Structure 1
Amino acid sequence: HTHIINLQQPEEEIIASMAQPVRNCYRNYHKKGVTIHQSQNLEDIKYFLELIHEVAKRTGMSPHPDSYFHKQAGSLLPSKDASFWYATYDNKVIATALFFDSKTTRIYAHAAANSTPEYRKLNAGTALLTEAIIDAKHRQMEKVDLYGIAPENAPKNHPWAGFTKFKRSFGGEDIYSGSTWELPLKPLQYWLYRAYQTIRK
């Protein structure tokens, strides 16, 4: 189950299809002192990992080991098939994401944000993702894949309900695949293989 944003339409229509709070954030985030950065420097993974660990500590989730992200980024950044995006406020990184790119598709692979009240109200993660979507449009990609969402007709208390609502607020449509499943025996290698296959298309 994933959520796709069609970029084969005018930029104004892409923005108009987003929820009003998302549009307002996109138009005004810079007035709040938030700056969005894009990087293909592997050293910037430190910002990403710091926030991933902060989210894990706050929520109790078990993130992938750092080596998992290092291998993903290290494999795809040199060929410019991946990029880190991060948002700063007062020179502090408060939101970050790792995207994978093919000629036609930008994949929203991993993301994390600082959730302390001071930073949460800035909605930096929303601004970051909106900028990444518009950037993909400018690069003449066909779509942005926001990746995993809750299953169709999932209850409101589904563990993925929160970020599913977040992803849907950017417009686009849910895509539900059939009942065929693949069980990877080596998850990291499988993920890199899938990313590579997507990028080749």
Structure 2
Amino acid sequence: MLTEMEQDLRQSDGWAEYLESQGWLVEKLGGTKVFIRKIPPFGAVAKIQRPAKIPVVAEIDRIARENHALFVKIEPLSTASNFELLTNHGFVRDSSPNLATKTVILDLTKSEDELWKDLSQDARQSVRKAQNNHLQAVGFKLGEPGFDKALIEFHQLLKETGRRGKFWTPTFDQLRKKAEIFGTDAALFLAYSQSHTPLAGTFVLLDDGTHSASSQEGQDLYASYFLLWETIKGLKARKVTRLDLAGVYDPRFHRATQSWRGFTAFKKKFGGKEVEYPRPLIKYYHPFVKFIFKIAGA
């Protein structure tokens, strides 16, 4: 499985195939994928997300010119080469990240006892309360009995969570496409009440907890705590070696992440290592676009 500074989900072949299904073009610069979205008649936008190695800037410029890109945004995995990009080749810091700039990663190579001890006292108590409420966790994979029904149930939970938190959620077709493309590298976990009402869900791609959701009833019954713990055990049983909890509050980007404070506190109760990614970088290839973005970020 991937280590912290190796290939990220956004540089995987599966993610490239998924974005292609959503209308993006994929170019490769060495081992790095560049994603391009055409915006007729204006040109295109391009993004390079979590590359293990940042490509040569001249090659980035070539891709940008060939596709008439208005800008290229890079969200680095590490600080290597950032200074050169920032100071010598027209890239500047960007204040609007597309990906989480800070996250918590759990080390699933630890024993189950060690992982349990990493939970805060409050998290352990919440898991026990959920168990006393007789909740049940079930894991699903594409092609197995019950997966299609479970994915529909998860999507309903996700929509409810989005409405409650006022954030965008993917369509059912997008979830289904991710499951189809990632196959055995996609895992879905749901928590149910005694009456088999779905209360909480987690959708994992590779080792990235891409989507999580819960109902209000699920929150009242501590289903989210219970399900994350069961997800940890389920992924560990499948030989996954880490779990990225997919973003926490980052004071560097207070405006963009301030609404994440609630689930940040929740995620930190499970221990793990906080990982902070470098600030995004952007290079504008059209002066008017640069002017518009400057006004928008003021």
1:86 to 163, 184, 190: 190
Report which structure shows greater RCO (CA 8 Å, sep ≥6).
1
**Mapping 1:49-88, distance limit 5 Å:** 49-76=155-182, 79-88=183-192
The superposition leaves residues 12-48 of structure 1 with CA deviations (integer Å, 9 ceiling, x where unpaired) of: 1211111112212334533212110111123421011
SS of 1:171's equivalent?
coil
1:139: Cα distance to partner? 3.3
Q: 1:42–1:73: 8 Å Cα contact kept in structure 2? A: no
Please list every run of 5 or more consecutive structure 1 residues that lacks an aligned counterpart in the other structure.
Answer: 184-201
SS of 2:150's equivalent?
helix
Q: 1:152–1:176: 8 Å Cα contact kept in structure 2? A: no
> TM-score under structure 1 normalisation?
0.76
**Alignment correspondent of 2:123:** 22
SS of 1:63's equivalent?
coil
SS of 2:190's equivalent?
strand
SS of 2:246's equivalent?
strand
CA distance in 1, matches of 2:266, 2:200: 15
**Alignment correspondent of 1:9:** 110
* Residue 238 of structure 2 corresponds to residue 143 of structure 1: no
Higher Cα Rg: structure 1 or 2? 2
What amino acid is aligned across from residue 170 of structure 2 in structure 1? H
SS of 1:175's equivalent?
strand
1:155: Cα distance to partner? 5.8
Give me the identity figure in percent.
Answer: 23
* Residue 212 of structure 2 corresponds to residue 111 of structure 1: yes
> TM-score under structure 2 normalisation?
0.53
**Alignment correspondent of 1:170:** 270
CA distance in 2, matches of 1:182, 1:134: 39
Q: 1:26–1:131: 8 Å Cα contact kept in structure 2? A: no
The superposition leaves residues 134-160 of structure 1 with CA deviations (integer Å, 9 ceiling, x where unpaired) of: 222333332111111121566698111
Which moves more between the two structures, 152-161 or 126-135?
152-161
Q: 2:127–2:222: 8 Å Cα contact kept in structure 1? A: no
Please list every run of 5 or more consecutive structure 2 residues that lacks an aligned counterpart in the other structure.
Answer: 1-101, 142-146, 284-298
What amino acid is aligned across from residue 42 of structure 1 in structure 2? D
Q: 1:42–1:74: 8 Å Cα contact kept in structure 2? A: no
**Alignment correspondent of 2:259:** 159
1:92: Cα distance to partner? 0.6
What amino acid is aligned across from residue 180 of structure 2 in structure 1? G
SS of 2:259's equivalent?
coil
Q: 2:129–2:221: 8 Å Cα contact kept in structure 1? A: no
Instruction: Check 1:70–1:174 CA distance in 2 against 1; reply closer, same or farther (3 A cut).
Output: same
SS of 1:147's equivalent?
coil
**Alignment correspondent of 2:133:** 32
CA distance in 2, matches of 1:143, 1:59: 27
CA distance in 2, matches of 1:153, 1:129: 27
**Mapping 1:37-52, distance limit 5 Å:** 37-40=138-141, 41-52=147-158
CA distance in 1, matches of 2:203, 2:281: 25
What amino acid is aligned across from residue 129 of structure 1 in structure 2? L
Over the residues paired in the alignment, what is the CA RMSD in angstroms? 2.4
The superposition leaves residues 93-145 of structure 1 with CA deviations (integer Å, 9 ceiling, x where unpaired) of: 111110123xxxx22110111114xx422111110111111222333332111
